């Protein structure tokens, strides 16, 4: 049984005053909440628009006012989860004085935490890249943005003599590493092993990542 969407406040505080949240914004959110709730019970591929509208407590025409398809809802949920991760890490680039070990922890330790928090959404999102063009395009956009910044950082650190990457093709290294991390997180959240196994997975990925970047042991 899927509980109905939690009530959304009709207003919020802005500059000491109260502002009424537009009805459209409220309805859009209940659709997103309804879909995410359904993911706890069934795969995204089994969810219908009828299921979503019933979970959200809205009529079918209202759904299509905000979204073209259920996969567009999924794409937005993936984007929001990604944005929440970015808000947490602050920047894709390595901070001044930040070791590469800490850099990995900030980026991908926090990324794993986001996968744990939004596991149904992220697993469904990765699966949907195999059959939905819009979700695949959105995912590619997000990953490409990350990889571009990581390749830039690798190049800067290599030029400064801080690391010795396994290849001069920094973009290719970064792409493959990110693919590996995504697949590892996907498998982990699909199977949901014991915490100790997840910790081993994360530690092994970190070792591979640091090795590919060519980080010395003391960096």
Distance between CA atoms of 94 and 103, rounded to whole angstroms? 6
For the segment 9-29, the average pLDDT, to the nearest whole number, is: 60
Distance between CA atoms of 219 and 215, rounded to whole angstroms? 6
Residue 24 φ/ψ, nearest 5 degrees: -60, -35
11-66 CATH pick, 1.10.10.60, 3.40.50.280, 3.40.50.1100, 3.40.50.1820: 1.10.10.60
pLDDT of residue 218: 53
Q: Does residue 18 have a pLDDT over 80?
A: no
Which CATH code is given to the segment(s) 70-213?
Answer: 1.10.357.10
Half-sphere exposure of 146 (CA within 13 A, CB side): 23
Domain ranges (residues) in the chain = 11-66, 70-213
For the segment 85-97, the average pLDDT, to the nearest whole number, is: 93
pLDDT of residue 64: 95
Q: What is the DSSP letter of 4?
A: P
pTM of the model: 0.84
pLDDT of residue 216: 87
- In terms of pLDDT, which residue wins out, 21 or 3? 21
pLDDT band per the 50, 70, 90 thresholds, residue 123: very high
Domains 11-66 and 70-213 share a fold: no
Out of 9-23, 26-40, 52-66, least confident range: 9-23
pLDDT band per the 50, 70, 90 thresholds, residue 24: low
- In terms of pLDDT, which residue wins out, 218 or 120? 120
**Beta pairing class for 17-20 and 11-14:** antiparallel
> At CA 180, angle to CA 177 and CA 186, rounded to 5?
140
Residues belonging to the chain = 219
Question: Measuring CA to CA, which residue among 191, 178, 177 is closest to residue 82?
Answer: 178
Q: What is the pLDDT of residues 154-166, one digit of tens each?
A: 999 999 999 999 9
């Amino acid at each position: 049984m899927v509980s109905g969407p939690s009530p959304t406040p009709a207003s919020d505080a802005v500059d000491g005053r109260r502002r009424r949240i537009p009805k459209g914004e409220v309805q859009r959110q209940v659709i997103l909440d309804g879909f995410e709730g359904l993911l706890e019970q069934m795969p995204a591929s089994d969810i219908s628009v009828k299921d979503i509208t019933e979970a959200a407590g809205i009529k079918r025409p209202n759904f299509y006012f905000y979204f073209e398809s259920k996969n567009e809802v999924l794409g937005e949920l993936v984007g929001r989860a990604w944005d929440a991760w970015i808000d947490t890490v602050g920047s894709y680039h390595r901070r001044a004085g930040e070791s590469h070990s800490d850099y990995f922890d900030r980026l991908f330790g926090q990324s794993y935490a986001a996968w744990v928090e939004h596991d149904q959404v992220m697993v469904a999102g990765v699966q949907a890249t195999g059959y939905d063009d819009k979700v695949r395009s959105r995912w590619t956009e997000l990953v490409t943005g990350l990889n571009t910044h990581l390749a830039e950082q690798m190049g800067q650190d290599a030029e400064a003599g801080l690391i010795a990457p396994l290849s001069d093709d920094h973009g290719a290294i970064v792409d493959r590493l990110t693919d590996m991390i995504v697949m590892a997180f996907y498998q982990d959240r699909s199977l949901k092993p014991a915490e100790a196994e997840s910790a081993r997975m994360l530690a092994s990925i970190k070792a591979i990542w640091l090795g590919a970047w060519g980080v010395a042991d003391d960096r």
